[in-house]
Amino acid sequence: MRLYRDPDVPGRIGFDRELYKRVAEAVPKSRRTHEHVVPIRSGYAWPVKAGSVVRIVTVEGPQVCDLNLWNLDNPRERFWAARTRQLQGAHVTTFDRLWSCLPYLRPMVTITNDTLPTEPTAHGGRCHDLLGSRCDPYLYKMLDDRDYNVTCHNNLSRAIAPYHLTELDVHDVLNVFQVTGLDPVHEIYFMEASPAKKGDFFEFFAEIDLLCAISTCPSGDLSQWGWGADGADPLANCHPLGVEVYELDPSLLSGWKSPEPVRIKSSVYG
C-alpha cells in the first residue's frame, strides 16, 4: 500500500502552521465585521475578503451544515472536494486546507479552529465529511418517486441566486459537523448523529476573496432518518447556525499573501 501523500512530510503543500495558530488565538480579540443566524432548513450566502476568518457556530444545538466555496471574482474557481480528500483526508480539521478545482488548484481556506472531536467513533466515523455530498431533490425522486424540494441543493441554489449563480454552480460540499465513514464490509457510506453541542464552531481563514454558502441541512443533526421503515420528519432535530466573520489586525498577517493558482508551461490540449 502507498499513501497518496505522507502526512508527516508535507512537501510542497506545507505551510507555516505557527501563523495559523496565531490567527486562531487572535480571533476572540478581533473585530467582528459580519454576523448572521441562518434559520433551520434554509441557505445563506455571503462574501468574505481574503485575510478574514469565518466561524460557523452551532448557536442552539447540533446541526449539520453543507458548505460551498467560490472565488468571489471568478465563480468558475470553486471548492474541489475530491482533490481535497486526496490531499488532506476524507475528514478535515484544524490545519487542513480546502482546495480549488482545475485549472487553479490552490488552497481557498485553511481551517484554523475546530471544537469537534477528531477521534473516530465506535463505528469508525469521523467529523466534517468529504465522503458524501448534499441531499438533493433528484435523489429523492429517483429513490422513492417523491417530489421534495426541502434539500441542501435547493437551499444552496436559492442562497446564491442573488449573486447571479444557479444550481449548476452548486458543487460537492464539505459536510460540516457531520459524522460519516465507510462500513468495513461493503465500503458503503454511513452517517451518525452529529456530536456538536451548543456553542461548538468550525473556523477557517480565507486565503482568497470568497463567496461562501451554507445550508442548514433539513435532516438536522442526523439523529432521525427521514426515510426507510422507521423514517420520520426530523424537524424537531433541526437547529439554526450562526455565521461570523472577523477582521484581523494587518500586522498579524505580515509576510502572508494569497496563494497563486498553479501555472503550467504547456497547453493541456497538446
Question: Are the C-beta atoms of 157 and 166 separated by less than 8 Å?
Answer: yes
How far apart CA 35 and CA 246 sit, in angstroms, is: 9
Preceding peptide of 10 cis, ω within 30°: no
C-alpha gyration radius of the chain: 18
Burial of 59 (0-12, 13-18, 19+ CB in 10 A): middle
CA distance 87 to 25: 26
Domain annotation covers residue 96: yes
Cβ pair 186, 47 in contact under 8 A? no
d(CA 28, CA 201): 13
Q: What are the distances in angstroms from CA 23 to CA 97, 113, 205, 252?
A: 15, 9, 8, 7
196 part of a folded domain: yes
Do residues 42 and 241 touch, judged by C-beta distance below 8 A?
Answer: no
Residue 146 CA neighbour count, 13 Å, CB half: 8
Residue 263 domain flag: no
pLDDT at 227: 64
The boundaries of the domain holding residue 134 are: 34-250
**132 in a structural domain:** yes
Is residue 230 situated within a structural domain? yes
Q: What is the pLDDT of residue 229?
A: 65
Cell (9 digits) for 153: 441543493
Q: What is the pLDDT of residue 228?
A: 63
Residue 264 lies inside a defined structural domain of this protein: no
pLDDT tens for the chain, 270 residues long, are 777 777 777 778 889 999 999 999 999 999 999 999 999 999 999 999 999 999 999 999 999 999 999 999 999 999 999 999 999 999 999 999 999 999 999 999 999 999 999 999 999 999 999 999 999 999 989 988 888 889 999 999 999 999 999 999 999 999 999 999 999 999 999 999 999 999 999 999 999 999 999 999 999 999 987 666 677 788 999 999 999 999 999 999 999 999 999 999 998 998
Report pTM.
Answer: 0.96
Question: Is 9 within the bounds of a domain?
Answer: no
Decide if 103 is inside a domain: yes
Number of domains making up the chain: 1
Which grid cell is 113? 479552529
